[in-house]
Amino acid sequence: MPRLDTLSPASGPGGAEVTLTGADFGARNAASAVRFRVPDEGAAPVPAEVLAWTADTVRVRVPPLASFGSGGPLDVAVHTDAGDSDPLTFVVEEEAPPVLSAVNPVRGLENDTVVLTGERLGRPTALSTVVFQAPGPTDVTAQVLSWTPTSVRVRVPSLESLGGAGSRSIAVRTPWGRSGAVGFLLGELPSISAVLPASPSPGTTITVEGRAFGPPAGGQLRLVAVFDTEDPNAPPVVTAPAILSWTDVEIHAALPDLRGLRTTGIRDVVITTEWGRNVPDQRSRILIESRASITTWTRVEPHARTADLQRGLDLGLQARVYDPLWMLGRQWQLLELRGEDAGTPVDVRVDGKVTPLSRWRPRDGQSEHVPVGVPLEALVERERVIPRTGDDDDRSFGDLRLSAEAGLHLLRLIGARLSDAKTRVYRRRFLDEYGLRAPSGLDARSRRFLNVMADRAPDGSEIFNDFQGALDSPPRLPQRPDIDLSDRSEVVAALRDWYDWCRELFSEPTQNGRAWDPKRMEYAFAAGAGGLVLDAPEHDGGHLDWYSFVRRAPGSSLGSAANGRGPVNFTRRAVPVPVSYPGMPVPRWWEMEDRRLDFGSVAAAPNELLKLVLVEFATVFGNDWFTAPLDGLPVGTLCEIATVTVTDAFGTTTTLTPFGDGAGTDWRMFELSRSDGVSDAGNALLLLDALPTTQESAPVEEVLVVRDELANMAWAIENTVESRTGRPLDRYQDEAERRTAAASTGPTGARRYVLQSPVPRNWIPLLPKFLRDNAGAVTQRLLARGAMRAGNTTIPPLGRLLEPGRPLDIFDEEVPPTGAKVSRLWTWGRAADGTTHLWRARRKGPGRGPGSSGLRFDDTPPA
């Protein structure tokens, strides 16, 4: 069987040479032939003149065009003794371009059928098209319904694609050329966009707005009555209003009086032009109201504006009953005798995406990835527990008790791997090199602890910093203390286990930047979810939730997320249920309420508008709300809702839009606000991996900030500071003991002159400080930390909260008249995955009001 693969060329006029390539053509004999045939059924094949023949190539001459009647596609096949090959298509071209002689009709509307007649149109090919020339010029291809060599039937393209109504031209394109253009007039049906007013009265004027009304000479405007139950055989009630003015886009007409209209009610405004009439819809429908009747609608609701406010509220909420006919009338008034096609929601589909909070940045740090499994509260609040070399914090704050416990645990781990004799050797070596040292300024309890633990426990904090090289590969150990080569692997293994234990014991930050802002006495940080950045500029510590954040303007970012932490699309389906709450009114007016409820006894003063709004919501709109669960979403993500589709009991689907959709919407709740104050639709729900509950210790440090109006300054009172053993130290008790020891033994009744009266050492002064611009105007008010003097030395703060060793300027607005209380404490919590976290945190809360230090100048107190 011969196989035909290609034709070259694939089109051409009659008499053109064509080369056929393939396989199994064999040697030429009397049966060998190449046949051209019109694809129509019953058409006889026409043999071509063979110019050359080989086993895989044949060169022939195309038969004359007259053999096929007209140009168009032909089936070409190779015939041998073995049979015919599968045909290929060859397009025989006319000797000249097509000629378009007539279009019928010469005018019409979009989607009308038009017949084109002419010559040399040929049979249809893939390149045979009919085009309408639109303004531009632009060719718009029409849909071909039928095609013969002498006529083509097409559908007129849409008005929009042709640029509107007007004169257009039509042409035919074939592989052998393009015909000349023939004119065609494209029309448009009139359309009505609005009729004003929508409810006119008889004898008034209406304005019809729209397009394609045409000239007034060929136009007509009619009002056709619309009846609910219309007899199809009855003639329509048609009224012709008087035309006042007529343009292509607007018509002014005067309605007849009531006698001319014959009846009021709904009318369809129908405009007829040379192209036809408009399609009636709601925009072209009006309601003609009779001046003889007045219809008003009044909602039954509480009305409290009476002389006796309580009586007015009672009357509005009571449902008094008179006789049965009155009851029937009330049911009619409340539409209880009329069925409503109101569908009940039966299915809700929610589509959206969740984006993990993958990056965060503390106030003065760099952006970094959010570690998996660490709650955001711990990530933001945690502080160093074991001091590190190079930390900005003063290393004198190291906890001696924790250092001793950590050092003893290391010795236990070493002892578990070595013999008792070697354990005693290394215990001595570590005690000699890293023994607990007594820092200056120890309180009595810390001194007693150090006396007990001296030469019994090494300093775990020092070991933690010096033996970091043990974690390297290969491990690097300091020269002191000596580690025998035979014991090196066991000691390194014990050190690595010890480092793991230290890291698991406390949740500590991995960078030096911190979220705590000492000038504001609160936390400030940012978290990023994809291309959205959330700022928490004023977090006082403790529980974090969505309302702690504001959104930055679009376009900001904290960096790219880690692999596997990109957005994930989700779909949830649920059955909505009505919102209910204790004391909710029954949904039907005539259903008896629970005897324990009495909405009429709600007492409200004239200025208690919120209470009146609450009562109205409960009694009028309380049963209009439904809720659907959105479960199974991962925490630590930003959930963005794309669509909410509700299906009711009738199968009707409704796509809901957010309440806050669009700028300037008044009803906005539970929404992440923009930090720049712009009101837009955030449409996002922040699902934090917050801890359900936490346990907090008593404060190990507490500072009370108070205003001293008599001294025109403020004081930071250190009530409690953390001792060197990690226990709270009462500064008041310490100050009382110091004053008792320094009490004067002078004569009773004697007085002495003092330039400045002393204040307790735990009272740190905060002095007013003003920042000014170039014009001298105050731009910022601050409270700068100062220091009282004791002899020739200044008295510094002892705790961490007041930033000893650094300048501290607190913003004036952060200390209200009630003051503020700031504390440091331990926090423990269990995350949703079951892991526990222990960290040191800070809290800010309200103070106790103003205070007075008793500071006086030029005084003579008793000696």
pLDDT in tens, 210-262: 988 888 887 888 888 776 555 556 566 787 888 889 898 899 998 887 666 66
Where residue 464 falls (left for φ over 0; alpha for ψ -120 to 50; beta otherwise) is alpha
Where residue 287 falls (left for φ over 0; alpha for ψ -120 to 50; beta otherwise) is beta
Q: How confident is the model at residue 666 (pLDDT cuts 50, 70, 90)?
A: low
Dmax (CA) for the chain in angstroms is 153
The encoded tokens of residue 466 equal 């010096």
Task: Give buried/exposed letters for 637-655 (b at 16+ CB in 10 A, else e).
Answer: bbbbeeebebbbeeeeeee
Residue 435 carries which DSSP code? B
Please answer whether residues 313 and 600 qualify as being in contact, where contact means their C-beta atoms are separated by less than 8 angstroms: yes
Mean pLDDT along residues 671-696 = 80
Phi, psi at residue 406, to the nearest 5°?
-65, -40
Residue 819 confidence (pLDDT) above 90: yes
Residue 749 confidence (pLDDT) above 70: no
Residue 639 confidence (pLDDT) above 50: yes
Q: How confident is the model at residue 465 (pLDDT cuts 50, 70, 90)?
A: confident
Please answer whether residues 532 and 672 qualify as being in contact, where contact means their C-beta atoms are separated by less than 8 angstroms: no
In this structure, which long-range contacts are made by residues 597-602, counting pairs with CB atoms below 8 Å and at least 24 apart in sequence?
599/317, 600/313, 600/314, 600/317, 600/318, 601/314, 602/313, 602/317
Q: Is the peptide bond before 362 cis (omega within 30 degrees of 0)?
A: no
pTM above threshold 0.95 = no
Where residue 749 falls (left for φ over 0; alpha for ψ -120 to 50; beta otherwise) is left
Q: What angle do CA 62, 67, 73 make, to 5 degrees?
A: 65
Of 111-120, 345-354, 562-571, the least confident = 562-571
Q: How confident is the model at residue 340 (pLDDT cuts 50, 70, 90)?
A: low
Please answer whether residues 33 and 117 qualify as being in contact, where contact means their C-beta atoms are separated by less than 8 angstroms: no
Percentage of the chain beyond pLDDT 90 is: 33
Stronger pLDDT, 228 or 148, i.e. the higher one = 148
Stronger pLDDT, 685 or 701, i.e. the higher one = 701
Residue 720 confidence (pLDDT) above 80: yes
Of 145-154, 290-299, 592-601, 684-693, the least confident = 290-299
Stronger pLDDT, 57 or 160, i.e. the higher one = 57
Mean pLDDT along residues 189-193 = 90
Q: How confident is the model at residue 597 (pLDDT cuts 50, 70, 90)?
A: confident
- Residue 662 is predicted with a pLDDT of 54
Q: Which of 772, 787, 783 is nearest to 808 (CA)?
A: 783
> How are beta strands 522-529 and 359-362 bridged, if at all?
antiparallel
Other Cβ atoms less than 10 A from the Cβ of 778: the count is: 9
The label of the residue with tokens 């909420």 reads 317
Supply the mean pLDDT for the chain: 85
Phi, psi at residue 485, to the nearest 5°?
-60, -35
The encoded tokens of residue 423 equal 């354990």
Of 326-335, 402-411, 540-549, 657-666, the least confident = 657-666
- Residue 395 is predicted with a pLDDT of 45
- Residue 765 is predicted with a pLDDT of 93
Residue 191 confidence (pLDDT) above 70: yes
Q: Which of 172, 144, 167 is nearest to 156 (CA)?
A: 144
The encoded tokens of residue 547 equal 């309302």
Q: Which of 61, 72, 55, 81 is nearest to 17 (CA)?
A: 61
Output the CA–CA distances (angstroms, integers) from residue 429 to 76, 449, 456, 465, 482, in the order listed.
102, 22, 12, 17, 7
What pLDDT digit, counting tens, does each position of 503-546 carry?
Answer: 888 988 887 788 999 999 999 999 988 888 999 999 999 999 98
- State how far the Cα of 441 lies from the Cα of 384, in Å rounded to an integer: 22
The encoded tokens of residue 140 equal 């718009």
How many angstroms from the chain centroid is the CA of residue 578? 26
Residue 761 carries which DSSP code? T
The label of the residue with tokens 């009779």 reads 290
Where residue 580 falls (left for φ over 0; alpha for ψ -120 to 50; beta otherwise) is beta
- Residue 409 is predicted with a pLDDT of 94
Winning range, highest mean pLDDT, from 310-319, 683-692, 719-728: 719-728
Q: How confident is the model at residue 719 (pLDDT cuts 50, 70, 90)?
A: very high
> How are beta strands 713-722 and 694-696 bridged, if at all?
unpaired
Secondary element (H or E) of residue 129: strand 129-134
- Residue 702 is predicted with a pLDDT of 96
- State how far the Cα of 815 lies from the Cα of 765, in Å rounded to an integer: 13
Tell me how long the chain is. Answer: 863
Other Cβ atoms less than 10 A from the Cβ of 131: the count is: 19
- HSE of 160, CA atoms in CB hemisphere, 13 A: 0
- State how far the Cα of 250 lies from the Cα of 248, in Å rounded to an integer: 6
Mean pLDDT along residues 643-656 = 92
What pLDDT digit, counting tens, does each position of 55-99 carry?
Answer: 899 999 999 988 888 888 888 999 998 888 989 999 988 888 999
- Residue 430 is predicted with a pLDDT of 92
- Residue 490 is predicted with a pLDDT of 92
Mean pLDDT along residues 465-474 = 81
- State how far the Cα of 473 lies from the Cα of 301, in Å rounded to an integer: 80
Q: How confident is the model at residue 478 (pLDDT cuts 50, 70, 90)?
A: confident
Which SS3 state, helix, strand or coil, does residue 340 take? coil
Q: Where does residue 470 rank: exposed (0-12), middle (13-18), buried (19+ CB within 10 A)?
A: buried
The encoded tokens of residue 152 equal 């083509």
Q: How confident is the model at residue 346 (pLDDT cuts 50, 70, 90)?
A: very high
- Residue 311 is predicted with a pLDDT of 72
- Could you give all domains of the chain from N- to C-terminal order, each with its CATH number? 3-93 (2.60.40.10), 99-186 (2.60.40.10), 191-288 (2.60.40.10), 386-505 (no CATH), 522-579+625-687 (no CATH), 694-859 (no CATH)
Which SS3 state, helix, strand or coil, does residue 676 take? coil
Q: How confident is the model at residue 394 (pLDDT cuts 50, 70, 90)?
A: very low
